[in-house]
């Protein structure tokens, strides 16, 4: 027992010496930086007079038409496509035409009432239209990976950043927006905000208990660059992405 106590005391003393040596090195390092900058060490936390976005930014807002224009310009600047449509009937026709143009054989859509109302099964009989999580025996990630087209509804969008927000849940698998070759995002214009902060505020108001399984920000097609800045499209997601602005 005595040997164990001696060993524990020696170990504690060693840890204390190591901590002291580490703190001494930190002090020397920080003092060296202060000396090079030509001012004394700052040891108190600086006061923060302002927190969050300034007032002028909190109230900044474009008109609806300006939001549409700015969103479209930002989205297209990174390789995305924008189509302005009047109503969901035109959305159905566009998706059907695009499916036939691409020779699509498999379309995967989120399980949402707005998308169910499109009647894509009848509009695009040449393809199999699968509804996310509608059949528990299906391997849905594999189905999404095989899909020619994925169709999702935007929950929010921000014009200033050219971003679309898509939430995930039981009927709204994130694989629908991540794995198909072509992604079509239906964006009702009333969900198009000016600033991203307007979108994020919705999650604060809802509270932690109401947060969705995932919050995904999409700003055009997948873009990846290596250390040589060689840009490749479509490596980590769809290479062709359409934002269908409706209304």
- Nearest-10 Cα torsion for 149, 153, 157, 159: 50
> How high is the pLDDT of residue 43?
85
CB-based contact 109:152 (threshold 8 Å): yes
What is the mean pLDDT, run by run of 10 residues, along the chain of 247 residues?
70 91 93 91 83 85 96 95 97 97 96 96 95 91 94 97 94 92 97 95 88 91 67 70 97
Q: Kindly report the pTM of this predicted structure.
A: 0.78
Q: Compute the radius of gyration of the chain from its Cα atoms.
A: 27
d(CA 157, CA 191): 6
- Which 3 state secondary structure label does DSSP give 34? helix
Q: Please, what's the b/e burial string for 72-103 (b: 16 or more CB within 10 A of its CB; e: otherwise)?
A: bebbeeebbbbbebeebeebbebbbebbeeee
What's the CATH fold of domain 63-246? Answer: Rossmann fold (3.40.50)
d(CA 66, CA 103): 35
Where in the chain are the domains? 1-46, 63-246
Measure the CA angle with vertex 127, ends 122 and 129; round to 5°.
Answer: 70
According to DSSP, residue 191 is labeled G
């Amino acid at each position: 027992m005595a040997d164990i106590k001696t060993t524990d005391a020696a170990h504690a003393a060693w840890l204390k010496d190591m901590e002291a040596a580490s703190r001494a090195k930190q002090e020397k390092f920080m003092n060296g930086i202060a000396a090079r900058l030509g001012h004394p060490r700052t040891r108190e936390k600086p006061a923060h007079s302002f927190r969050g976005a300034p007032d002028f930014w909190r109230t900044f807002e474009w008109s609806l038409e300006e939001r549409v224009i700015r969103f479209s310009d930002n989205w297209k600047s990174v390789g995305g496509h924008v189509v302005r449509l009047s109503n969901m009937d035109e959305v159905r026709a566009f998706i059907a035409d695009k499916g036939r143009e691409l020779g699509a054989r498999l379309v995967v859509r989120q399980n949402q009432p707005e998308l169910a109302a499109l009647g894509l099964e009848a509009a695009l009989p040449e393809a199999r239209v699968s509804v996310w999580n509608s059949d528990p025996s299906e391997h849905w990630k594999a189905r999404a990976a095989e899909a020619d087209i994925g169709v999702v509804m935007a929950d929010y969008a921000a014009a200033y950043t050219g971003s679309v927000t898509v939430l995930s849940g039981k009927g709204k698998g994130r694989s629908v927006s991540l794995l198909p070759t072509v992604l079509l995002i239906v964006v009702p214009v009333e969900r198009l905000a000016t600033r991203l902060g307007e979108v994020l505020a919705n999650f604060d108001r809802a509270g932690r208990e109401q947060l969705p399984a995932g919050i995904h920000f999409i700003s055009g097609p997948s873009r990846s660059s290596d250390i040589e800045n060689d840009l490749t499209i479509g490596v980590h997601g769809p290479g062709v992405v359409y934002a269908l602005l409706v209304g």
